[in-house]
Structure 1
Amino acid sequence: MKLAEILNNLAQPVPKQKISKKGIFKDKKKIDEIDYIAWYNLCDLLDERCGIDGWSWSIKDVNQISNRLTLTGVLTIYGDDKSLTREATGTEDVDCSQYGDPSSNSEAMALRRCCAKFGLGRDLWR
C-alpha cells in the first residue's frame, strides 16, 4: 500500500468501540470526562490500517526534569513507496497518583500524540 493511501486510512474516524472515557480530576474530585483511545487500541488500529509490518514504534529518550518524567517516542509508517516518521513527547509526574506508572503513562501519551500527527484519532483531539 502506498503511503498516501495509508495516511488516508489513518485519518478515518476511530470506531466507537475503541473509544473509552477517562475522568478529569481536580483536587482528587472528578470534575468531567473526556474520550480517549487506550494505547493497545491504537496499536490494533495501526495494525489494521497500516498492515502488521507497516509501522514501528520506539523510544528515543527518557529524561527526568524536576518531578516529571518526559519521554520522546518515534512512530514510523512504512508505505510501499516511502516511509514517514513523526516524534512526540509524553510526560507524567514521577509520583503519579493515576493508573499505571510514570514511564508507561508517558509512553502512552507520546504514542497518542504521534498517532494524531498521522491523523489517527485526531478527531478526538478536536
Structure 2
Amino acid sequence: MSTLVRTNSFALKRLLLSSTLRRPFASKASPSAAADKVVNCEVDDDEVPTSGISRPLSEILKEINKKVPESLIKGRTEANGFIARYIPWHIVNRIMNLHAPEWSGEVRSITHSPDGKSVSVVYRVTIYGTDAEIYRESTGTAKVDEPGFGDPVQKAEAMAFRRACARFGLGLHLYHEDMC
C-alpha cells in the first residue's frame, strides 16, 4: 500500500509541475497530449500518467555530465595564490532544475569544530528518474572568521551542495582540468 501511495503522490507531483499547469499565462490553444490523457480518461493504479518532465536516470546523468560553459564559472584566489575555479551554488541549482527537475537536496548534519573555528555541513542531493532514484552526499567546511558574504554555515552548505552535485558529474571537469 505504501508503494502505491508513493507512486501516486510522485505522479501528482509531476502533474503539478507540468508546463500547462505551471505557466498560467501560456497559450491554451493546444493542450499537450499528456494533459489530455489526465483530463479525458480514467487512470488505474498501474498506469500513472507522466507530464513529460521525468526521464530515465541515464539521460539525466548524461546531461548533467556535460561541460559547463566557461561564462558560468567563477574564480577565487586562495591564500597560497592558487586560483580555485568553481560554479556558484545558484548556477548549480539552475542546472539541476533544468536537467533534473525532480531533484531534492537536504542538509544531513551541521558540525562545529571543537575549537569553534570552523563548521562542516553534510549535504545530500537526490535525483529522481522514471526508472530509479539515486543520491550522493558530500561535505563542505568553512572557517568562522573567513571574510565574505554569508555566514559560515551558508558557505559550508553551498560547498557541500556543489560537491554532492559534482559526484553526479556536474562540473566535475573543473576538478581535473589541469590533467587535460
User: Normalised by the size of structure 2, how large is the TM-score?
Assistant: 0.63
- 1:25 alignment partner, SS class: coil
- 1:60 alignment partner, SS class: strand
- Cα shift at 1:68: 1.4
Distance 2:134 2:93 in 1: 17
1:57 corresponds, among 105, 119, 122, to 105
Distance 2:82 2:167 in 1: 26
User: Matches of residues 86-105 of structure 1 in structure 2 within 5 Å?
Assistant: 86-105=136-155
Tell me, yes or no, if structure 1 residue 46 matches structure 2 residue 96: yes
- Structure 1 segments of 4 or more deviating over 3 A? none
Distance 1:4 1:94 in 2: 39
Alpha-carbon RMSD: 1.2
Give the unaligned 5+ runs of structure 2. Answer: 1-54
Tell me, yes or no, if structure 1 residue 106 matches structure 2 residue 131: no
Paired amino acid for 1:23? T
User: Normalised by the size of structure 1, how large is the TM-score?
Assistant: 0.89
Decide which structure has greater strand share.
Answer: 1
Q: Report which of the two structures shows the higher radius of gyration computed on alpha carbons.
A: 2
- 1:90 alignment partner, SS class: strand
1:85 corresponds, among 107, 131, 135, to 135
Residue matched to 1:23: 77
Residue matched to 2:42: none
Distance 1:117 1:73 in 2: 12
Higher mean Cα deviation, 56-65 or 14-23? 14-23
1:122 corresponds, among 159, 166, 172, to 172
- Cα shift at 1:33: 1.9
- 2:123 alignment partner, SS class: strand
Q: State the percentage of identical aligned residues.
A: 33
Residue matched to 2:61: 7
- Cα shift at 1:86: 0.7
Distance 2:65 2:122 in 1: 23
Give the unaligned 5+ runs of structure 1. Answer: none
Distance 1:120 1:32 in 2: 22
- 1:6 alignment partner, SS class: helix
Distance 2:83 2:174 in 1: 13
Paired amino acid for 1:91? T
Higher mean Cα deviation, 37-46 or 94-103? 94-103
Paired amino acid for 1:58? E
